[in-house]
Amino acid sequence: MKTLNIVGKSLRRADALEKATGTATFSTDLNLPGMLYAKTLRSPHAHARIIEIDTTEAEKLLGVKAVATWKNTPRLLFNTSATMTFTLPNQEPVLDQYIFDNVVRYVGDEVAAVAAISERVAEAALKLIKVEYELLPAVFDPLEAMEESAPDIHPCHAGKNIPGEIIKIPMGDVEKGFAESDIIYENRFTLPIQKHVQLETQAAVAQVSPDGNITVWSTTQTPHPSRIILAAAFGVSQSKVRVLNPPYIGGGFGVRIGLSAKAEPIAVTLAKLTGKPVKVVYSREEDFIASDTRHAGYVWVKLGAKRDGTFQAIELKGVLNGGAYCSFSCETPGVMGAMGLSVYRIPNVSYYGHSVYTNITPAGAMRGFGNPQGMFAIEQAVDEIAAQLGLDPLELRKQNIIRVGDPWILPYSCRSTGLEECISKAAEELNWQRRGTMNEPGSKILRGIGIGVGTHVSNSWPFCVDYDNAYITVLQDGSIMVATGVPEMGTGTITTLPQLAAETIGIPLDQVGITFGDTLTTPFDIGSHASRTLYAAGTAVVAAANDVRRQILEYAGDLLKTAPEHLEFANGLIKKQGLRDSECVGSGVCQLNEVQNFITMKDLAYHAHLRNKQFIGIGRTTPPNAPPWHAHVTEVEVDTETGMVTVIKVAAAHDVGKAINPLIVEGQIEGGVLMGVGYSISEEIKRDAKGKPLHTSIHKYLLPTAADAPEIKAIIVETNDPTGPFGAKGVGECGMVPTPAAIANAVYDATGIRFTELPLTPERVLKKLQEKNKNII
């Protein structure tokens, strides 16, 4: 196999120096000449009709430049999430949002926005807007929202308050499978609302030129789809809209796949009304209450197995709380079913799932995208089967996991799996054999070990529209520019994509520049979501790089009078096969047309330039998807007096295909694990009886800090998937997926109690511990 010089190395991030010195620019840092600041008036009611809205006093306030409401903004339906641009031709995207509407559907819904000379003036003006509401009945739980008596939140055809379609995935015959099972476990699991809490809140700055060209700097993870959405929302041609990151984004985790909540359309609306640049920065509270969350909801699982542990049938059902607008509510239950049923070799499977509109903050994409919810249920069912059969949960998993070539429900093949190796390595890291022997009788602090496994996607094909383009232009000194429409939101894109390009072409990494995250300067790319950026945009970059390499070798072949296949091209030097680098001193290209044995990339590019030629490589790809695999083994401590669960350590072994930059891959895993730990033990947004959210700030919403983060050991397993660039698969979301189940299984190991509801707060845990003690007494 070819020796790799750049791929596989933990090279320093391309954006590290800017970010370490405070010079990196984010949307919230932008400051344009004449720029105005916007603030948004939000609904205090969960469901209401706006009878009257009077902005006169607000408009009179000194420093106020414009006030926007449903009356003076375009009435074109859209969906803030990129589902609007992803949905396949045989399905209808759900468009259910206006920039402002005369009905508000959750506490925090947009009512009006003000542009003023400062945020302070804009905030003061909001207080002067008079709104008369007619209150409408509201519903907050998805099961209640499906009842006939519930209010209709939007028109739906699949069922009461069900957006899009009901997803059904059948394979085999589950009834028969359960009939043939010796043992069956079934239960209902309850999942909370989790919030991304990306460090940079939703933000956008919009500028509209006198001739109507719209430029939006924003925190979007998908500049190109965001352009499509904005063009539709404002009824202008896409060629009039430019969306770009400036160039950095303070985290994403799915919260801005498409628009950054409504930051972009509000900024554009006010920029159009005032003729000046307008900046919208969500406060942290707005970010909590008015930008997408993870889907809460209910998951039912029924798993049947033979006495020897062989799984026979699984039935999974999900009803997710979609909140007030659709966002990604059609796709999320699909991923829950498709991924959840693709981990184990089970001949009979069935999934039924959908979301339900309610009067709470919309739920949308968040790291894991339905998969952590499903796996929380499935992986606990697997442990229950193991416990009832007296089998080691580790061995039971190894016995049943999907192997390469196995039939499964997914519309692409399983071409690689390192799951067994992941299980072994994670278990070894935590010394699995201690399990069951860790507690002294009568101990008040109980310890336990648990495991959770799973898979995910590497892009969203063929479930959604999913393609990438990349250009590589060779500059006249032989350095190159990669153009890709994906952003850099922290995941290392602008480091790893150049690594792929440099390795593929055969030039040093410092010869690679990159333009990214800008619809004006890059070809269309569906953007960063579905753990796809390195896998899918990377495939396009490798294709463009191969195109460049082929052109250069052809050109060099003519020059060196050698067939391209008899040339070597590495480290910026093209030479005849077998020639040592030390023999290639001084290229002498200026003595044109002389027969040579070698030529540098630099000289070749300039040689071509002098002959009116530039090399431009194009990559246009849709890779077929590939399953990443992961196993997490966790150790927890449960204080039986307080109910406090402390996660001591998480060993997270991930089959990522090939780690293009191992340091960056580890960072993805570690961050995902901690987000999963928070989801498992503390993070939750609750509401009062009227639907007002109670967790609206970082302090109220308990996410892990450095002081309470467990030890996390990321373990990389490489299986070289044949479809990925240099064998790579997705990784970004995977750290989230098996974490809740691994923790709940560890808590079960410690306490003997099966917890079916997240998060495992002291209150919840103590209650169950007390119930158990009562039963014993």
Partner 1 sequence: MNLTTLQFVLNGEETAIVVDTSDMLVDVLRERMLLTGTKKGCGKGECGACTVIMNGAAVNSCMIPALKAMGSVVETIEGIGTLEKLHPLQESFMDEGAIQCGFCTPGMIMSAKALLDSQPHPDGKQIREAIAGNICRCTGYVKIKKAILSASEKLKG
Q: Which residues bind partner 1 (CB under 8 A)?
A: 10, 12-13, 15-26, 28-29, 31, 196-201, 248-253, 283-284, 489-492, 663-664, 666-667, 670-675, 697-699, 703, 705-707, 709, 712, 714
Say if residue 577 is exposed, middle or buried (CB neighbours under 10 Å; 0-12, 13-18, 19+). Answer: exposed
Would you say 29 or 420 has its CB closer to partner 1?
29
Place of tokens 């054999």: 433
* Minimum CB distance to partner 1 smaller for 323 or for 667: 667
* Structural contact between residues 39 and 126, judged by C-beta atoms closer than 8 angstroms: yes
Least spacing, CB of residue 713 vs partner 1, in Å: 9
Residue 707 beta carbon to partner 1: minimum distance, rounded to whole angstroms: 4
Q: Shortest gap between Cβ of 348 and partner 1 (angstroms)?
A: 38
List, in order, residues 6 or more apart from 266 with CB less than 8 Å away: 38, 40, 68, 99, 110, 113, 204, 280
Task: Give the C-alpha separation, 668 to 650, whole Å.
Answer: 14
Read out DSSP for 455-469?
E--SS-TTTS---EE
Tell me how far, at minimum, the Cβ of 279 lies from partner 1, in Å. 11
What is the identity of the amino acid at 279?
A: K
As a whole number of angstroms, the distance between CA 702 and CA 197 comes to 11
Min. distance of Cβ 502 from partner 1 in angstroms? 19
What is the Cα gyration radius of the chain?
28
Q: Which is nearer to partner 1, 570 or 709 (CB)?
A: 709
Contact residues for 391 (Cβ-Cβ < 8 A; gap 6+):
309, 385
Q: In this complex, which beta carbon is closest to partner 1, that of residue 17 or of residue 135?
A: 17
For residue 29, the minimal CB distance to partner 1 (Å) is 4
121: left (phi over 0), alpha (psi -120 to 50) or beta: alpha
In this structure, how many other beta carbons lie within 10 angstroms of the beta carbon of residue 772?
14
Three-class HEC string of 97-133: ECCCCCEECCCCCEEEEEEECCHHHHHHHHCCCEEEE
Amino acid at 428: E
- Shortest Cβ distance from residue 520 to partner 1 (Å)? 23
Residue 31 C-beta: closest distance to partner 1, Å = 7
| Residue the block writes with tokens 């059904």 | 168
By C-beta, is 250 or 275 nearer to partner 1? 250
Which residue lies nearer to partner 1 by CB, 326 or 486? 486
Within a 13 Å sphere around the CA of 213, how many CA atoms are in the beta-carbon half? 7
Classify burial at 327, counting beta carbons within 10 Å of its beta carbon; exposed 0-12, middle 13-18, buried 19 or more: buried
- As a residue count, the chain comes to 777
Minimum distance between the CB of residue 654 and partner 1, rounded to whole angstroms?
13
CA distance 476 to 602: 7
Asked whether 665 and 462 are in contact (CB, 8 A), the reply is: no
Of the pair 219, 417, the CB lying nearest partner 1 is at: 219
CB of 706 to partner 1, least distance (A): 4
Query: Is residue 94 within 8 Å of 364, Cβ to Cβ?
Result: no
**Residues paired with 103 in a beta bridge:** 49
Comparing CB distances to partner 1, the nearer of 245 and 327 is: 245
The residue among 225 and 667 lying less far from partner 1, judged by its C-beta, is 667
Q: Which of 641, 653, 677, 658 is nearest to 769 (CA)?
A: 641
Give CA–CA dist 555/755, Å, rounded. 66
Minimum CB distance to partner 1 smaller for 25 or for 239: 25
Q: What stretch of H or E contains 53?
A: strand 48-54
> Min. distance of Cβ 250 from partner 1 in angstroms?
3
Which 3-state string (H, E, C) describes 478-514? CCEEEEECCCECCCCHHHHHHHHHHHHHCCCHHHEEE
Beta carbon of residue 17, minimum distance to partner 1 (angstroms, whole number)? 7
Smallest separation (angstroms) from partner 1 to the CB of 648: 14
Of the pair 10, 388, the CB lying nearest partner 1 is at 10
Of residues 29 and 429, the one with the C-beta less far from partner 1 = 29
Residue closer to partner 1 by CB (options 285, 568) is 285
Element containing residue 348 per DSSP (H, E):
strand 348-357
Closest to partner 1 by CB, 133 vs 217, is 217
CB 630 within 8 A of CB 654: yes
The minimum distance between CB 168 and partner 1, in angstroms, equals 35
Shortest CB 671 distance to partner 1, Å: 5
Residue indicated by tokens 């800090």: 705
Nearer to partner 1 among residue 118 and residue 614 (C-beta): 118
Check the CA dihedral 756-761-767-773 and report its sign.
Answer: positive
For the chain, the straight-line distance linking the first and the last C-alpha, in angstroms and rounded, comes to: 66
